[in-house]
Amino acid sequence: MIEVVTIAREYGSGGAELGRLVASKLGWEFLDRQLVDRVARIAGLDPKTAARLGEKAHRWWQWVLAGMSHGALYSYSVPDGLGVIDEGFVHGITMRLIQGAADSGKCVIIGRGAQVFLHGRTDVFNVLAYAPIEERIRRLRARHENRVDVQALIKQVDGQRAKYVREYYRRDWLDKTLYDLCINTALGLEVAAELITTAIGIVKKEEPL
C-alpha cells in the first residue's frame, strides 16, 4: 500500500507548493523545510547552512554513509579532525531521516534525491513535477526582483540538483524510469495535486488484498 510520495521538481515548476497540496489532501506529513530543520538540529547547524549544503555533493559521501550505518542517528557526531561539517555529513543524516520518515509512512517528501534513495519500494509513489520554461520563468519572476537573471538561476539550480543525484546515486534525475508519474504543473497546481491523489487512489484499489 502506498504510504509515501516523493516529488522531484524542476526549479520554478512549483513542486514544493504541489507537495504541500498533496500532503494536505492526503492528511499526511509534509517534509521539505521541516526536513532541513531536523538535519540542522541533529548536525548542529543553522537551517540556512544545512539547506545550502543539503543540495550539494561531496567526494567523501561514501565514508559518511558507511560510518553512519554503524551508529545510532541521534548519537552521531562530527568525526574528530574534520573540523567543519560539510555537505556529505548533512547528506548522510538527511538520508537516515528520509528512511525513518518512509518507514513511518504517510508523508510527502520533496527533493533530496528521495525518489532514487527509495526507488523500488512498493509503498512509495515517485512524482516528477515539470513545466515549460516560459511557465517556470513566470513563476520565478513573480518571486524574485526584476534584476535577477531568472534563466541563469534556473540553469544553476537544476544543474545543482542534477549533480547531487548523479554524484550520490549515479543516476540522471530526469530519467523517467525513476517516476510513477511525470506531471506538467502548467495545468495548475490544484489540478496536478488532484491528479496525483487520484492516481494513488486508483493504485491502492488495484492492489491485492
| Cβ-contact 113, 163 below 8 angstroms | no
Q: How far apart are CA 19 and CA 198, in angstroms?
A: 14
Residue 186 is predicted with a pLDDT of: 94
What strands lie across the sheet with 29-31, from one edge to the other? 29-31, 107-110, 4-9, 124-130, 181-184
Q: What is the mean pLDDT of the chain?
A: 80
Q: How far apart are CA 173 and CA 166, in angstroms?
A: 7
Q: How far apart are CA 33 and CA 138, in angstroms?
A: 23
Mean pLDDT of 119-146: 90
Q: How far apart are CA 195 and CA 201, in angstroms?
A: 10
> pLDDT (tens digit, 9 = 90+) per residue, 21-47?
999 999 999 988 777 777 767 667 677
Q: Is the pLDDT of residue 113 over 70?
A: yes
Residue 94 is predicted with a pLDDT of: 81
Residue 73 is predicted with a pLDDT of: 40
Q: Is the pLDDT of residue 60 over 70?
A: no
Mean pLDDT of 95-115: 88
Rounded to 5 degrees, what angle do the CA atoms 180, 199, 95 make? Answer: 45
Mean pLDDT of 67-96: 56
Residue 22 is placed in which grid cell?
498533496
Give percent above pLDDT 90 in the chain: 44
User: Is residue 27 packed enough to be buried (19+ CB in 10 Å), middle (13-18) or exposed (0-12)?
Assistant: exposed
> pLDDT (tens digit, 9 = 90+) per residue, 179-195?
999 999 999 999 999 99
Q: Is the pLDDT of residue 50 over 60?
A: yes
Residue 19 is placed in which grid cell?
507537495
Rounded to 5 degrees, what angle do the CA atoms 160, 182, 124 make? Answer: 85
In the chain, the domains with their CATH numbers are 4-199 (3.40.50.300)
Please report which confidence band the pLDDT of residue 141 belongs to, taking 50, 70 and 90 as the band edges.
Answer: confident
Q: Is the pLDDT of residue 106 over 70?
A: yes
Q: Which DSSP letter does residue 186 get?
A: G
Q: Is the pLDDT of residue 49 over 80?
A: no
| Cβ-contact 140, 12 below 8 angstroms | yes
